[in-house]
Structures are given as C-alpha cells and as structure tokens.
Structure 1
C-alpha cells in the first residue's frame, strides 16, 4: 500500500510517503509556500490512500484539496473518534479533540502500550496523558516558545529576535528574564503534569514522548526521562490509514 500522510499544522505542513509502512519520502513546507508541494507530489507514484490531519484554517484546507486533485482519490481528513487503534478518547465531545493530538496519541500508544505523556511543541504546546490502559485522560494546550516570544514582543515592544538573550536560573537583565520565564513556564507545565498524574492515578508515567519543531529549546531544561520522536503525528496517521484496530 502506498500512503501519503499529511500533517497540516498552524505554521508548517509535514508530509511523508510510505510503501507498505516503510517511509520513502519525508519533507515539510511553510503554510505560506504550499504551492511548492505540487512539484514534489507530482513526482510521487499515485497513492492508494491519503490521510490528513488538518488543524489550520480553511484557506490552507482549500489549497490542499486542490493539490489532492492531481490524483483520482478521496483524501481521509481524519477526526478524533471515541476509540481507534487501541486508544480510548475521554474528551467530553471526542470529535473536538484536535486530529493532530489524536494521531500523536495513537502513535505513542502503539509504540509503548503503557502510560505516556505525549508532548508536542510547536505554535502551541500540547501535553496529553495516556493511562496504562490506553485511555486518553485529557490534556492541556499552552502557547509554544515562538508564540510566547511574539506575544511578549507585541505586549511590551521588547524584542527577542536578535539572539540577545540566554537562559539563566536567576536572570539579571530583562531579555534574559523574559526568555528564562518562557522556558521555565513551558518546562514547568510538562513536569507538573507528570507529578499530578502520579498523585491522581497512583502510579508513575514511564514514557514522556516529545515531538514538534520547537522542542530543541526546551530539551536541555527538562528534568525527567524523555524520548524524542520526530513526526509523531505522521506515524499515527499511517497507523490510522492501515486501520490496525489493535485492542
């Protein structure tokens, strides 16, 4: 089976082309340059299936729909389900869970089959919790590193764009204070979620899975065991496309 998996995020689109589960191509493009996909995709063999996680706006979705028209195939724009690929969705309205978060949870569960903290660091930072039974217990969304930097700049006119700052435990100038505060807040939300899980569930999470384009800034400051899995959403999309209902 040839599968085109597309992770359409708020700022970037990532895609992978698989043959029988083996990755043949992998790339990403800014949402401002989606037109460049045509030259890449027209070189691909026609996929048997196209599976898409889309969390960006309607304009991006319309552009993608036009690009998919180069093949005579209907894309699968996934939505979170009450249960799929071994994961049980505990959201009050399961369909409201972002498709990217759902695909990432499916990928993490099918890799570890154990309690997981699934963290994706991009335009937003999502922190989602899987129980040892494969139940998505819930999660949180906070602004990611880049978004927080731009927000501070907009609110205070203090720029963090010239690399004139660094992380300090006790910062002694304003730009270091802002940047260090951003790092501490984002890392703190991850570590606090880990502690609260143990308090509420009575056992520890063994696996913290981190993905997303903004993770590099946070990793040196995370004081817990973690594993980085690039393109976690794409891996989950492949599982969904393969329809491996493994309970």
Structure 2
C-alpha cells in the first residue's frame, strides 16, 4: 500500500492506494499539517511526497509519519527519469509539482502537451514528445500569481482595488469583473503562447488543465483550442504513483 501526499501552498492532497485501486483520497489546508490526518489500520509499504510549501512543513510531516515505520521519500526533480528529460537549466530547482505533473502526463499520452496548474500560483509548462525515440522533454514554462494572490496583491497594494467576487466580462464594467477578467485573460494568453510554441514543433498537442481554478480557465478558453483541452485534477498524485510503482 502506498501513501501519496501532495503538499501545496494552500491545500495538501493525499491518496492511499495500491497498484490496483484507490482506497482513500482526501485533502486539508496545508496550514493544518500539524494535525492528525493520517489514521490508517493498513500496512503502508512506502510514502512518497511532493512538497512546494517549504522546509518547515516538510519537517512537521516527517514527525507525523514516523508512526508508519516505512520508507518516506520526498521527490526531487531529476535530469532524467525513464522517458522524461528535464530541460531546466538547473534541473533540481524545478518545482517537484511541475516535474511530477509532467511525468504523469507523459506516462498517459503519446503527444506533446501544455500543462496548466491553476492554483495558488499558476504554472503553464510545455512538454515535448519525440515519437521516434519515445522521449519526452520538460522544455520549460511560466509562473503567474493565481487568482487569490492576484486579488490580494491588488487589495493590499492599491487604494481602491478591493477584493470582491467578480466574473469574466468583456469589456468589464466594474472593478471586480476587471480584476477577474484580467487574471483569466492573462492565463489564457500564456496558454496560447506556449501552445503556439508546441505547435511549431509538433502536429499533435494536448492542453491539460489541473488545479482548483481549472474549470474557470476551461470555461473561457478559446473555442479554437477546446478540442485540445482535458481536465486532470490529480496530476501530482499520479506522478507520485508512477514513482511508487516502478
């Protein structure tokens, strides 16, 4: 049995599974990581973790997981893992979540992909596929503030741009809608830019959306791109499972 844990900046997701099926799947706020979230009667063979929330959270979780008396591994990006190359200039500085998402996508599809994770931060990454050599390469990507961060930054650093709930509207006719629309259009523009790069090198490209705001982005993506889009919620956990089962 594997315990897979994805520690994000805002939310921590986890999954208890073996090679055949998922037994439990839940989440909690990362700020509550010091509480007892993992109470199982089954024997855990291995624990694999992705952490982007800093060393303190990692140290707390290590203490919490000692009771399982099994291998605990925090996954770090590598220069190469199986069929996936890491094109980052300094491979180990790539976020573990981005690396694991790329691994998950490259494990399940035989094409190039633009991978979008819309959470606390938004990452938009390009993974190329060399069909002849069955080789994927993480080519790089962009990082943007997520919707919540965008609203907070504007509310905290300007006099009149307070954080209210808005909707995407073109053109926006109130401040809340202007902020919401600005965020979504920024993400969509970056997706299109990475998609164009991918299409210049490959005839078959997928767009994979994940993260808490995946549906929001999907609602407004250009009709010309819709046929390329799919939503995959647990890319990081899927990537951890690939590490666990090989």
For structure 1, the residue ranges without an aligned partner over 5 or more in a row are none
For 1:205 and 1:153, the matched residues in 2 are separated by 41
Aligned match of 1:138 = 140
Does structure 2 retain, via aligned residues, the 8 Å contact 1:85–1:239? no
For 1:43 and 1:136, the matched residues in 2 are separated by 36
Aligned match of 1:170 = 171
The answer to whether structure 1 residue 84 and structure 2 residue 94 are counterparts is: no
1:235 to 230, 235, 238: 238
Secondary structure at the aligned position of 2:62 is classed as helix
The answer to whether structure 1 residue 75 and structure 2 residue 72 are counterparts is: yes
Measured after TM superposition, the shift of residue 175 of structure 1 is: 2.3
Aligned match of 2:213 = 214
The answer to whether structure 1 residue 193 and structure 2 residue 190 are counterparts is: no
Q: CA RMSD in A?
A: 1.5
Give the alignment of 1:1-247 within 5 angstroms: 2-36=1-35, 38=36, 40-133=37-130, 134-157=136-159, 158-161=161-164, 163=165, 165-199=166-200, 201=201, 203-223=202-222, 224=225, 225-243=228-246
Mark the CA change 1:21 to 1:54 in structure 2 (over 3 Å): closer, same or farther.
farther
Mark the CA change 1:44 to 1:87 in structure 2 (over 3 Å): closer, same or farther.
farther
Provide Cα deviations, 1:36-90, integer angstroms capped at 9, x if missing partner. Answer: 4x2x422241210111111112221111111111111231111001111311111
Does structure 2 retain, via aligned residues, the 8 Å contact 1:4–1:50? yes
Mark the CA change 1:190 to 1:81 in structure 2 (over 3 Å): closer, same or farther.
same
Mark the CA change 1:151 to 1:21 in structure 2 (over 3 Å): closer, same or farther.
farther
For 1:205 and 1:32, the matched residues in 2 are separated by 40
For 1:175 and 1:100, the matched residues in 2 are separated by 30
For 1:166 and 1:95, the matched residues in 2 are separated by 38
For 2:147 and 2:62, the matched residues in 1 are separated by 30
Q: What TM-score do you get using the length of structure 1 for normalisation?
A: 0.90
Q: What TM-score do you get using the length of structure 2 for normalisation?
A: 0.91
Does structure 1 retain, via aligned residues, the 8 Å contact 2:34–2:61? no
Aligned residues: 236
Does structure 2 retain, via aligned residues, the 8 Å contact 1:194–1:205? no
For 1:140 and 1:121, the matched residues in 2 are separated by 12
Measured after TM superposition, the shift of residue 21 of structure 1 is: 4.3
For 2:18 and 2:205, the matched residues in 1 are separated by 32
